[in-house]
Structure 1
Amino acid sequence: MSSWPGAPWLTLWGVAGLLIGDGAFAEYRGRPVTQVLDELRGEGLTFIYSSQLVPRNLRVEQEPAASSGVELAREILSPHGLSLSAVVQRVYAVVADPSVAKPAVKQESPARSRPEEVVVQTSRYTLTAPDVAAHIFLTQEELKNIPRLADETLRSIDRLPGSASNGFSSLASVRGGTPGETAIILNGLRLYEPFHLKNFLSPVSVLDSRVIAGMEFYSGGFPAIYGDRMSAIVDASTIQPSQPRYYELGLNVFHTSALAALQFDDERGRLLVSARRSNVGDLAQYADNDFGKPDYGDGFARLEYRLSGATRVAFNTLLSDDGVRATNAAKTQSASAEYNNVYAWGTLDHDWSDAASSRLIASYTDLSNEREASVEELGRRAGGVIDERDFRILGLRLENQVTGATLDHRFGIEGRYLTGRYDYRSQMRFEPDYPFPGSPARELQRVLSPAPHGYETSAYWDVRAMLSRRWMLQAGMRVDNQTYDGSDDGEQWSPRLSVMYTLGARTRVRASWGRFFQSQGVNELQVEDGIERFYPVQRADHAIVGLDHSFDAGVDLRLELYRKYYRDIHPRFENLFDPLVLFPEAEFDRVLIDARSARARGVELLVRLRPHGSWSGWFSYAWSRAEDRVAGTDVLRSWDQTHAINIGISWSRGPWSATVANSYHTGWPTTALADSSARNSERFDFYNTLDARLTRTFALSRGALDVFVEVTNALSRNNPCCVQYEVRRDADGSLRYSQAMDSWLPTVPSLGVLWRY
């Protein structure tokens, strides 16, 4: 079963393992060869074989010297006259080879594994390659096999406790925060607006899952090296070419993609290039209803070169381009948008010694957004908007790391120069009796054109100290300042502290406290709602306590409790009844939420069954509550979900792999039309989606072919998202209100192929 991002999950197999006390997973002798090969999928390896060549009753004859990887596979196959033939990167075919000699039994101890990375922070999930086993919850191979709409990388976060997802947007709310409180970082650069179709709920990010080697996800309590966000961090890194030539071509319902990875100059240089193009716009012409045509694409390139044994340089470019036209079902509203984003950054890494290193990152970001929208409802309302925005960001960041016998230091400084240009125009006329009988006629005219410019500066220091055999401490401080917003906030000082106590070889207790500030980004002015000034910096305090334990039966458990207190939070605008509209600022249910403070608290449980034969699995449960403090009253935030459960199971055997995952959470708060002053006092019905993915890998004369079938919301459940109201006057003059409930995604099937060679 595919293990979801950082989410361990308990299945019946895990329970059975606990009850019978089966702790002999580390011994290979006597176990089925097929079982061991399938377990190695957890390391990102795929082995293709037939049941005739590797029958299920074929057993490991002797304890191998290797403990993992391809060498382990070779050792258990060799006594049976079998060997491996490389098909493509990390894909091997099992073949008959009578010339293979039975290896002599080695007397030395098995190869030592890489030392475990010690993590002091709470709420950290490493979604990366399997070289730090204590914190692996999702390898790239597992990510490939997990159901995720549109192959979206960030949907892995939806499987973690603390995430509130609607199943459509690519980024969830984390522990009560808004999606804008999460920073997305790629190869050391923070990305601004890294989403396609961002005015249409951002269903896809610019992070192509085929180029992402791994992710670290912090749902709170992150160290001082990260700043200017209050809730979460997603820190992603790209793959590195590991062979002279490697190529991919992919085609599925959502994307056409290509990737090339090369090595040159005796492996001193590496080049990675990828590109994606959306197929959704092409498929839209076959839909029964012509609601619109979304087109988007992105490309990424990275060139690395090792100047010497101690010095390395890299150049990264990430480009995205969007164009979308959409019309509502009644043909009364339309919207179109174009977005163009350019990220370019270079890094210089130098190792001063085995214990000291530095990294310099220089970056340029260019964001261009254009949007037009109109509404034409005869006798009710008419108008439109033209909205243009451009931003430029130049950045320079210096990072340093010094490792000692008992102290590890990380410290650095960063500066950015930011400029922005807003050109927002809107004109609307609302006729008498709209939206309700008796409503007066009114007109709305806005012309806002602020042009902010200025600087962001920051500095941080983070230290990790081994106090004793059981106690470890990590502490840090950062300071941030902004000048582009014209405010007088001064410097924001953010202390952070995390401690870890080791109860035993398999049990650790962690606690974190920290202060986190978030300024309003140069690109985040709410001009669409008539706001042309930046708000003061927001603040959140996190307090987290956690317990990690690993059981003999291959089950990992994590339990965390957290509390977040928000202060000086920005006013925000929401549409009370229907967030799925093309022209949100023109709707009658658009309201200002002016909360001075907020709080979120919760309890989270994650359990994961590590690969056991062909099976693996995960389970998570979270209880949480997120509230705004408005005029002395606690009001639920619109993404509050009291109970959330994620469960999944994965199976793999030879060329086959399959995953079934289910996500459930309490229905989100909503507002009744009859009492709109009591905002979010009612709830929608619960949300539940069952998703599945099946993949078959074929060995070709050149490379390998992955064929997959996937279905989202397989049970076709109507998960309510919004309500549309109509007001009618009956013959007797009385008013009658009718409502139509709309839902999130219906059943969405998908299929695709990926050729790797």
Structure 2
Amino acid sequence: MNIKSAVITFLMMFACFTSASETLPVVGGKISDSNTGETLPYAKIQIKDTNRLATANQDGLFTVLDVPVGATLVITKMGFESHEVLVQSDTERLTIELLKAGSNKDNSIETIVVSGASSQKLEQSGTSQYSITSDITKSLPNLGEQDIFRTMQLLPGVSGSNESSSGLMVRGGTIDQNLVLFDDYTVYHVDHVFGFFSAFNSNAIKDVQLSKGGFGAKYGGRMSSVIDITGKDGNTEQFNIGGSVSLLSSNVIVETPFADGAGTFVMTARKSYQSDLYDEILDSVTGQENNQATSAIPSQFGLGSFQTEPESYFYDMNAKLTYRMDNGDKFSLSFYSGADELDNSRDISGQSNFLTDRCSGETSGPFAGRLCDGFNFDIGTVDLSEWGNTGMSAKLTHQWNDRLNSNFVLSTSEYFSNRDRKINSDVTFNTDDDSDDSDSSDNSQSNQSSSNEDNLLNDVTMKIENDFFLNQTHKLGFGLQLTEQNIDYFLMQNEEVIINTNNEATTTTLYLEDEIALDTLIVTPGIRASHYSINDEVYIEPRLSMMYDLNDSTQLRGAFGDYHQFALSVARQSLEEGPRSFWTLADGETVPVSKARHFIIGASHEGNDYTAHVELFHKQYEGLSEFTEQIRPMRNEDGRGAVLTLEQEFHTGDGTASGIELFLQKSFGDFTGWAGYTYSQVEYDFPTVSDSPYYADQDTPHEFKVVLMYSLGDWDLSSTFVFATGRPYTEVLGVAEDTIPATYEVGEKNGERYDAYHRLDLSATYSFELFGGDGELGLSIFNAYNRENQWYTEYDIIEGEILETEVNFRGFTPSIFVSWNLN
């Protein structure tokens, strides 16, 4: 299947569906926010007293076929009051405005308002799928920035102990295995401030759809999950301006209508800074300076262990222009740009009393027990990183008739990452020779090491997505997607080029799925076919999901699917630099196309005040890639012996991820919240890395989370708690003998685990009115009891001894913020 054949096939499908001439009773329309005029994506439309349910699309448009005259439609959307609308004819076009939960604004549409909606509710909208709005993040603990990705990390099945990244590790998957879309352009890196913030400003977000697995044929190119984010269009009713300031960042939003509300424009921007107040608060609590804080701690190695915390800053901006035409078409142009800079530089000095070859002219190993004056060491590390994303999309929504609508999207994305690392080490030996003839240069030694790493990714995508309502039982989705990707990766260590790649690929995709709605059963079979140009292969991906209503409150769910990934972020394991990764394209050989097969079954029960879910999942991985350092014996040139040498190469393996998730939520009343528990196991099998299967880096067998929220008048109080089993790591045992240069002796691959991770966050938010607008004042405490959770460990070899630097996550961190919006 090449591009030409895919286009011809798509056009034939399109012609076939548009030629359907059967006339059916149709009730459709648009659902929007009564206050701002924003359309509301993925709202639910149900024919009252029946099991028939429809869902609005991303633009808030909906269609329901064969609705009896006199029937009542019930429209619901998380965070809004539900409404009931009486159908007065068998062909109607409705404009429905929903009231924000708690709003007192009168509705201009003749509807019956059904109270009781909660903006603090997480809504499960399908198998392993959740609908999330940015409102739910407002009262949760934060560092001055509401972060919807941090909220998703509080769900079962999503790692909450991955503090170093706002990216999601979903059901044992890695961060790169998530398809992240913002207004239909792909975002390849989602971090700010070393993982404390996501790359997405909550002021720019209207809706988020999270699918933790088993997602439909519309989505592809990733093996784990989909995060589909819809950005705000902007206020169609009136001009609005707002902003917020915290101890870490400032944030501003401007939105305005034009052309009598037919057009809207919205822009958000934020930037972090290192304030004096922040440093003073942190210093008074922790007793140490915040900038590159370094301290010594006990260690199993002779040179000791040191701790360090890096510093960084970021900026980002979103802008979106939307215009609604007289014929109902909608055009939008969305733009994003953001970048980070990270400084992990540090200076470490100390001394050793262990006997070395340079001490007293004698030799002895570090554990021989003989002591002498030893040596002093001073290590200066310059470690600078920067990374960022740019994305843009142009989208046209066109409704051909009451039964067929299409989205035409052209998007582009760019991701860059640069890291420069240089280490200068000075060692001064303390000898017993005090004679004037001794050469002082013999008593000192200097070494340098360096690495340079650059990664650049460009993505240009064109896609056409269509929904066709065949009849009241069948809703067809079909589409065409063309993606051009170009990825450069360069790695140089100690002036030697290790990797220098440039890959280009075209991926051509067709998909078709059919949502079959029966009385108590919804079945959605689908198929996705992708041609990948690098190896000229076609990848067929069958998909199937089912939902069965056991009774009015209990539903059974299940899903199955095959998923392939062509653009991969390959893990690069390094004892000196810690865990790293880089984006590259699969070539079918050195880096194979990865595959995952999903199996999911579950059930949900919804009572008056509580909802409960349970899901079991199993994923089978094929063609996983890792880039590691490997010590191998190599024969001497004279053929009479062997030495150990260091090789760096790609490795290929398989894996499995299995587990069970439990979720309990209280959605109504002043006291709300949820609790989630996940038991899982993620195991990899890389024959060239380990002789036996081992736990993956992201394996956390037990993870427990609690979110509690309480409304007390104008105050919102909340707390979150996360507990997780410590992640596995490969233990460093010492320095391998007879290796030049010196290398490490390590234990079993990921045979040890860090201590358990746990953290408590607290917050209090006060709401007020000022100058005709709404404001909030909040205090958050991150890591309230100052738990030292370890991230990773870096190692350096100095004169046959190991220096250990423990890189920890952030400790006790208070934050204060104030925000205000005109409307």
What TM-score range do you get, normalising by the shorter chain? 0.7 to 0.9
In structure 1, the partner of 2:414 is 366
In structure 2, the partner of 1:318 is 336
Structure 2 residue 309 is the aligned partner of structure 1 residue 303:
no
Aligned to 1:641: 700
State the Cα deviation string for residues 642-685 of structure 1 (Å, max 9, x = none): 11111121011332111111111111122333383312222222
Partner of 2:187: 191
Q: Distance in 2 between matches of 1:513 and 1:42?
A: 27
Deviations 1:129-181 (A, max 9, x none): xxxxxxxxxxx322111123453331112101112232231113111111111
Q: Percent identity?
A: 21
Match of residue 670, structure 1, among 723, 729, 735: 729
Which residue does the alignment assign to 2:53? none
Matched, 1:499 2:546: yes
- Check the 8 A contact 1:247/1:756 in 2, yes or no: yes
| Stretches of structure 2 lacking an aligned partner (at least 5 in a row) | 1-75, 82-96, 284-288, 293-309, 349-378, 427-444, 574-579, 632-644, 734-744
Letter of the 1:470 partner, please give it: T
Whether the 8 Å contact between 1:418 and 1:522 is mirrored in structure 2 is no
Structure 1 residue aligned with 2:132, among 119, 127, 133?
127
State whether structure 2 residue 454 is matched by structure 1 residue 406. no
Larger radius of gyration: 2
Verify the 8 A CA contact 1:506 1:551 in the aligned structure 2. Answer: yes
* 2:450 corresponds to 1:384: yes
- Offset, 1:367: 3.5
Change (3 A) 1:518 1:574: farther
Pairs within 5 Å for 1:72-221: 74=104, 121-128=126-133, 140-149=134-143, 150-164=145-159, 165-196=161-192, 202-221=195-214
Which of 244, 269, 283 aligns to 1:275? It is 269
CA distance 1:743–1:756, change in 2 (3 Å) = same
Indicate if the aligned counterparts of 1:284 and 1:293 stay in contact, CA closer than 8 A. Answer: no
Question: Retained in 2: the 8 A contact 1:623–1:642?
Answer: yes
**2:527 aligned with 1:470:** no
Supply the distance in 2 between the matched residues of 1:464 and 1:113 (Cα, whole angstroms).
30
**AA in 1 matched with 2:463:** R
Distance 2:329 2:208 in 1: 25
CA contact (8 A) 2:185 2:413 kept: no
CA contact (8 A) 2:570 2:582 kept: no
Conserved? CA contact 1:148–1:156, under 8 Å: no
Amino acid at match of 1:657: D
Give 1:601's aligned residue. 658
Distance 2:101 2:716 in 1: 22
Q: CA deviation at 1:600?
A: 0.7
Which one-letter code corresponds to 2:705 in the other structure?
N
SS of the equivalent of 1:570 reads strand
Cα displacement (A) at 1:411: 0.8
| C-alpha displacement of 1:573 | 3.9
User: Mean alpha-carbon deviation: is it higher for 744-753 or for 390-399?
Assistant: 390-399
Within 5 A, what are the aligned runs for 1:237-252? 237-242=230-235, 243-252=237-246
Counterpart amino acid of residue 372 in structure 1? D
CA-based RMSD of the aligned residues comes to: 3.7
**Inter-partner Cα distance in structure 1 for 2:585 and 2:448:** 24
Within the candidate set 220, 224, 228, 2:221 is matched to 228
More displaced 10-residue stretch of structure 1: 298-307 or 719-728: 719-728
Query: SS at the partner of 1:156?
Result: helix
Give, as a single letter, the amino acid of the residue that structure 1 aligns with 2:622: R
Partner of 1:455: 506
Give, in angstroms, the shift of residue 208 of structure 1: 0.4
Q: CA distance change for structure 1 residues 43 and 113 in 2, over 3 Å: closer, same or farther?
A: closer
Alignment partner, residue 569 of structure 1: 624
Q: Confirm or deny that 1:394 pairs with 2:460.
A: yes
Q: Offset at 1:269?
A: 0.6
Any idea what SS the aligned residue of 1:151 has?
coil
**Alignment match, 2:604:** 548
Q: Which string of whole-angstrom CA distances, capped at 9 and with x for unpartnered residues, describes residues 62-87 of structure 1?
A: xxxxx99469765xxxxxxxxx8x9x
Partner of 2:497: 446
Q: Which residue of 1 aligns with 2:781?
A: 711
Specify the code of the residue in structure 1 equivalent to 2:468. V
AA matched with 1:750: S
For residue 560 of structure 1, what is the aligned residue in structure 2?
615
Amino acid paired to 2:678: A
Cα–Cα, structure 1 residues 575 and 621, in superposed 2: closer, same or farther, change >3 Å?
Answer: farther
SS of residue paired to 1:678: coil
Aligned mates of 2:683, 2:546 — CA distance in 1: 28
Task: Report the secondary structure of 1:375's partner residue.
Answer: strand
Mapped partners of 1:372, 1:590: distance in 2: 21
Question: C-alpha distance in 1, partners of 2:318/2:219?
Answer: 24
Deviates more, 1:516-525 or 1:688-697: 516-525
Contact 1:595 1:628 in 2 (8 A): no
User: Displacement of 1:340 after TM fit?
Assistant: 4.9
Cα–Cα, structure 1 residues 720 and 387, in superposed 2: closer, same or farther, change >3 Å? closer
Shift of 1:500: 1.5
Change (3 A) 1:319 1:621: same
Q: Counterparts of 1:590 and 1:716 in 2: how far apart (Å)?
A: 40
- Residue 210 of structure 1 aligns to a residue in which SS? helix
Q: 1:601 to 1:380 in 2, by over 3 A?
A: farther
Distance 1:641 1:276, change over 3 A: same
Q: Contact between 1:691 and 1:712, CA under 8 Å: does it hold in 2?
A: yes
Counterpart-to-counterpart distance in 1, 2:205 and 2:234: 12
Q: CA 1:426/1:492 → structure 2, altered by over 3 Å: closer, same or farther?
A: same
Ranked by relative contact order (alpha carbons within 8 Å, sequence separation 6 or more), the top structure is 1
Structure 1 CA distance, aligned partners of 2:452 and 2:686?
33
Deviation readout 1:290-329 (Å, 9 max, x if unpaired): 4365232111110000112421100111111333433024
Among 43, 62, 75, the residue aligned to 2:79:
43
Q: 3-state DSSP class of the match of 1:611? A: coil
Q: 1 CA distance for matches of 2:552 and 2:583?
A: 58
Name 1:53's counterpart in structure 2: none
- Contact 1:387/1:425 (CA < 8 Å) preserved in 2? yes
TM-score normalized by structure 2? 0.68
Quick one: which amino acid aligns to residue 273 of structure 2?
N
Partners of 1:269 and 1:531 in 2: CA distance: 40
Deviations 1:356-385 (A, max 9, x none): 100000122234443322111235752223
Separation in structure 1 between the aligned mates of residue 585 and residue 396 of structure 2, nearest angstrom: 39
Q: Is the 8 A contact 1:393 1:418 kept in 2?
A: yes
Q: CA separation of 1:536/1:333 partners in 2, compared to 1, >3 Å: closer, same or farther? A: same
Q: CA deviation at 1:196?
A: 3.7
Deviations, residues 487-520 of structure 1 (Å, cap 9, x unaligned): 35x0111100011111000100011111111113
Residue 454 of structure 1, CA deviation:
3.4
Q: Which amino acid aligns with 1:481?
A: H
Q: What does the per-residue CA deviation read over 1:189-217, in whole Å, with 9 as the maximum and x for residues that have no partner?
A: 222234346xxx54433210111122111
| Partners of 2:247 and 2:816 within 8 A in 1 | yes
Partner of 1:433: none
The residue aligned with 1:753 is 818
Contact 1:284–1:290 at 8 Å: present in 2 too?
no
| CA positional deviation for 1:283 | 7.6
The alpha-carbon deviation at position 738 of structure 1 amounts to 8.1
Cα contact 2:570–2:583 (8 A) shared by 1: no
Q: Match of 2:43? A: none
- Return the letter of the residue paired with 1:567: E
